[in-house]
Amino acid sequence: MKRHLFSASFGSYSFRKKITPWCILALPMIFTVWLKYYPILSAFYISLFQYDPIQSPGTFVGLSNYVSMFKMPYYWEAWKNTFIFLLLQLAMCFFIPLIQALFLNELTKLQKSLTTLYILPALIPTSVNVIIWRWIWHPDYGVANQILKFFGGQPQTWLSDPNLVKFCIIFPGILGGGLTVLLYLSAIQGISTDIMESASLDGCTGFGRIIHIILPNISFMIFIQLIMSVITTMQLLDAPYMYASGGPSGASTTQGIFIYNAFNQDLNYGRGSAASVILLLVIAALTIMQMHFEKSEKE
């Protein structure tokens, strides 16, 4: 009798409804823990050792890797560069796609064609994009200096100037937008037509409609893009490395490049892991602050 009841319970619809999501998610959750969280714990573990890959894990040194890293001026210079890149990214590239999406939404003709043109640059590999822009910034025959000469300006050594290299790395993002433009445009077009019509009847048109209707209704998308922009820029590695290899004189060395050099040039796995852990904590703190601020704004 008990076996019959257990079999009936196991085969019941409510039980299958509860267990099916867990069965579907089990394998992805296992791989997420294995490929995402296990490396994080491993990085913290390695950071406590003078790591020796031959006789792993090497000599236990506690927090010495952190202490010695904090005493390195090069490390703090990398943090300074990272935050400057973040400010430039937010100032130059965060709001441009939103403005582009707002203009695209107002078009009645050629909207689909223009959205296709915006997404095409996102298909270009980063390496190809860097090659094109390194040619543009070239001090001898680059287009940038030719434009300066046309307007009477003095040629610049763009990527070789510590004061200009960060600007040169971030500037190409102004001309893009890519997938972000489409995400904003989809969010704008997802606003209920009843809301838009009511706003028009109340006389809320033009710039007022953008401020009071559109932006509040897509704030969730703006918030998500802000978080992603901060996280991506704090982990910036490929563009500064391909443009200037962290130079000149370390002017474009980010935390990503510092960690890469610690692993691949210095072969100091303990320091590289310690820098990775600190970067993770800083990004997590910034994300929590952003989420708390967003929650306070809604309340």
Q: Name residues whose C-beta falls within 8 Å of residue 88's C-beta, 6 or more positions apart in sequence.
A: 166, 167, 170
- Dihedral angle over CA of 223, 225, 227, 230, nearest 10: -140
Tokens of 54: 């031959």
Q: For residues 78 and 253, is the Cβ–Cβ distance under 8 A?
A: yes
User: Of 156-170, 192-206, 272-286, which range is least confident?
Assistant: 192-206
Q: What are phi and psi of 77, to 5 degrees?
A: -65, -35
Q: Name residues whose C-beta falls within 8 Å of residue 170's C-beta, 6 or more positions apart in sequence.
A: 85, 88, 89, 92, 93
Q: Name residues whose C-beta falls within 8 Å of residue 273's C-beta, 6 or more positions apart in sequence.
A: 43, 44, 46, 47, 51, 65
Q: What are phi and psi of 153, to 5 degrees?
A: -85, 170
pLDDT at res. 208: 78
> What is the number of helices (H) and of strands (E) in the chain?
18, 2
Question: Residue 232 burial (CB < 10 Å; 0-12/13-18/19+)?
Answer: exposed
pLDDT at res. 287: 86
How many CA atoms lie within 13 Å of 95's alpha carbon, on the beta-carbon side?
A: 6
pLDDT at res. 277: 93
**C-alpha span between 223 and 218 (Å, rounded):** 9
User: Of 13-27, 211-225, 269-283, which range is least confident?
Assistant: 13-27
Res. 12 pLDDT band, cuts 50 70 90: low
- CA 259 → CA 1, 8, 66, 155, 249, distances in Å? 64, 57, 13, 34, 17
299 pLDDT more than 70: no
* Nearest residue to 167 (alpha-carbon basis) of 123, 133, 127, 131: 133
Q: Tens of pLDDT along 221-257? A: 888 888 888 888 999 988 899 998 888 888 999 999 9
Q: How many CB atoms lie within 10 A of CB 210?
A: 16
Q: For residues 115 and 103, is the Cβ–Cβ distance under 8 A?
A: no
Q: How many CB atoms lie within 10 A of CB 45?
A: 13
Domains in the chain: boundaries: 48-298
User: Of 10-14, 228-232, 267-271, which range is least confident?
Assistant: 10-14
pLDDT at res. 84: 93
Q: Tens of pLDDT along 196-218? A: 778 777 777 777 788 888 888 88
pLDDT at res. 95: 82
Q: Burial letters for 91-128: b for 16+ Cβ neighbours within 10 Å, e otherwise?
A: eebbebbbebbbebbeeeeeeeebbeebeeeeeeeeee
Read off the DSSP letter of residue 154.
Answer: P
Angle at which helix 269-298 crosses helix 38-46, to 10 degrees, equals 130
With pLDDT > 70 as the criterion, what percentage of the chain qualifies?
A: 92
CATH 2.30.30.100 corresponds to the domain 48-298: no
pLDDT at res. 292: 76
pLDDT at res. 175: 66
**C-alpha span between 31 and 27 (Å, rounded):** 6
